[in-house]
Chain A
Amino acid sequence: MPKHTVDQLETISTQIREDIIRMLEHAGSGHSAGPLGLADIFTALYYEILKHDPKNPDWDERDILLLSNGHCVPVRYATMANVGYFPRKELMTLRKLGSRLQGHPERTRLPGMETTSGPLGCGLSQACGMSLAMRMDQTKKRWIYVVMGDGELDEGNVWEAAMLAGKEKLGNIIGIIDRNNIQIDGPTEHVMPLGDLKAKWEAFGWHVIEINGNDIEAVIDAAAMGRAVVDKPVMIIAYTIPGKGVDFMEYDFHWHGAPPNHEQAKAALHELRTLGGKIRSEHE
């Protein structure tokens, strides 16, 4: 049973986007486009999909969420704060000296952060190791979700892991590719064409589901469909809009690795609070 209505979840994802803008403005550096594009997926994960307990991050029956593209961690921090892992005011410490919220995530600093990441291509293989360990122990079924970027698929390590998961039929792994078509140097299809991703993952022995990654309901449904496939790993190719929710950031690869300045943040927050001008902001 869903715990929230779609309207409630969309309100939460907007709140997460606002937090991302405020965090990045305050930090003065960081990535904007990816985290904004992933807000709906992270809302779906933490509010509906994952079995987890913010008050007991080490719960041994929890599902595991690996963020392989560590540069998108602002969306994870914002979602974790909103769902109760730590106070929202701590979000403003992002990238500051002594903060638990490092520029790229570090497991040993923040409870609930399942692994340290940033250098790309390492999440899926850690998921393979976790899944293999669970199989050796024959533990109760736990799901391992791995969020990856599409530019990240340039890394050879990803495909090494893809082969192993396919060979070993690691059926409790569900990958989610943030297919937003941009990376630092430009559109993915110019930098390094990824081509027919569905066919590629299927060729490696994966079950593939393609969805609109900015449709929260579609994300929840895809995860449920993914859990029904137990004899293969599952890859959800989630087409997202980079910079989603802030019109001057959407689809623009220049926002991949840049934060908003004060004026841009103000404009972005206004747009998010008014749902693109559809409603009045209570803050203004």
Chain B
Amino acid sequence: MSNLHLADITGDLEQEPIRKGFGRGLLKAGQLDVNVVAACADLTDSTQMSLFKAEFPERFVEIGVAEQNLVTVGAGLAAMGKIPFVSSYAAFSPGRNWEQIRTTICLNERAVKVVGSHAGVSVGPDGATHQMLEDIALMRVLPHMVVIVPGDSLEAERATLAMAKDGRPNYLRLAREATPIITTDKTPFEIGKAYVYEKGSDVTIITTGTMTYQALVAAEQLYKDGIEAEVIHCPTIKPLDAETILKSVKKTGCVVTAEEGQVIGGLGGAIAELLAENFPAHLKRIGMLDHFGESGEPNELLEHFGLDAKHIRLAAHEVTAKKKSE
């Protein structure tokens, strides 16, 4: 869609890890607001907080390998009017410190920005312990928490800037590997909004994070198959943009979701809940199906677990066929 100023995905796309955009966004947010501060649990380079730390050493706190302390220190910083971004790998934060996030951030209504990097199976060789897949579910269930999963590094940068101005607890999910940049500097981002990246009337494909690029590739292929897919990029999983999603599904009557995480409680769970209560439709959910990942090369793993354009395309065929057979 031209008004979204997307990159041409049929051309050669530049690639960059999504976390890099977070690093730039945090630095910019820090330049814009003196109250933006950061804390990290011994992964400052990996999570890309190093840019902020280099420019604002006095506003950066090294917590050490202590994720429970990381988020509770964040709650204390927020209590004094700071806008704290606290980062680690998603497997550890929010993986290890969920109760502290629940009590001292969400129930306590402190606007801490929890940033989980290296989420999804595309972490690769590190294996299942480090491939966080349950973070969306863990954060989505918490009252007051906003859950954001950007689709590329540019969107991560915009999301980070938006989070610095959002007065609520936020969770930002980042990926490790370089992924195609599908947006441009002019592409809009607003917390709570889903965006129609590709218009179509036969099937709605709803994706988040790294899967949005895969969905756009699948949509190209589906077009050649004679299926016009509408691709909705959903960077905010909570609060969910029900209006945009339902409007599309009422038109297409069938849905595919795709995410690099557990379907249970994830984007797939959220969409299933929304549709079941508002507009039941044929639904196929792509994601991790109640199992863990394992070591391997990122692309190898994505294919192995069916998290790619090929599987999104097959799923779209499946739901459109079901719709037609009614």
Contact = CB atoms under 8 A, between A and B. Distances in A.
B317 interface: no
Given A128-B76, A133-B80, A122 B100 contact: yes
Contacts of A132: 61, 73, 76-77
B187 interface: no
Interface residues of B, number: 28
Given A122-B72, A128-B73, A116 B82 contact: no
A73 to B, nearest CB: 14
Most A C-beta atoms less than 10 A away, residue of B59, B84, B107, B109: B107
Contacts of A127: 76
B63 to A, nearest CB: 6
B73 A119 contact: no
B326 interface: no
Contact of A157 (B61, B68, B77, B80): B68
A284 interface: no
Most B C-beta atoms less than 10 A away, residue of A119, A126, A161: A126
Given A136-B59, A164-B73, A125 B103 contact: no
Contacts of A136: 37, 58-59, 82
B15 interface: no
Nearest to A157: B68
Contacts of A168: 61
A126 B76 contact: yes
A115 B112 CA distance: 14
Contacts of B58: 136
A148 to B, nearest CB: 13
A129 B99 contact: no
Nearest to A155: B68
B103 A126 contact: no
B7 interface: no
Given A116-B103, A136-B37, A129 B80 contact: yes
B104 to A, nearest CB: 5
A126 B79 contact: yes
Nearest to B74: A129
Interface in A139-157: 156-157
Nearest to B59: A136
Contacts of B84: 129
A164 B63 contact: yes
A129 B103 contact: no
A41 to B, nearest CB: 22
Nearest to B65: A160
Interface in A110-131: 114-119, 121-122, 125-131
A262 interface: no
B75 interface: yes
Contacts of A137: 80
A168 B82 CA distance: 18
B80 A134 contact: yes
B263 interface: no
Interface string A166-194: 00100000000000000000000000000
B66 interface: yes
A274 interface: no
B299 interface: no
Interface string B32-43: 000001000000
A122 B103 contact: yes
B69 interface: yes
Contacts of A27: none
Closest 7 pairs (CB-CB, A-B): A129-B76, A133-B80, A125-B72, A160-B69, A126-B76, A160-B66, A129-B73
12 contacts: A108-B109, A116-B103, A122-B72, A125-B68, A125-B69, A131-B76, A133-B37, A133-B77, A133-B81, A134-B80, A164-B69, A168-B61
Interface of A: 106-108, 114-119, 121-122, 125-134, 136-137, 156-157, 160-161, 163-164, 168
Given A126-B76, A132-B73, 12 more contacts: A106-B107, A115-B75, A116-B108, A117-B103, A119-B103, A129-B72, A129-B76, A132-B76, A133-B82, A134-B80, A136-B37, A156-B68
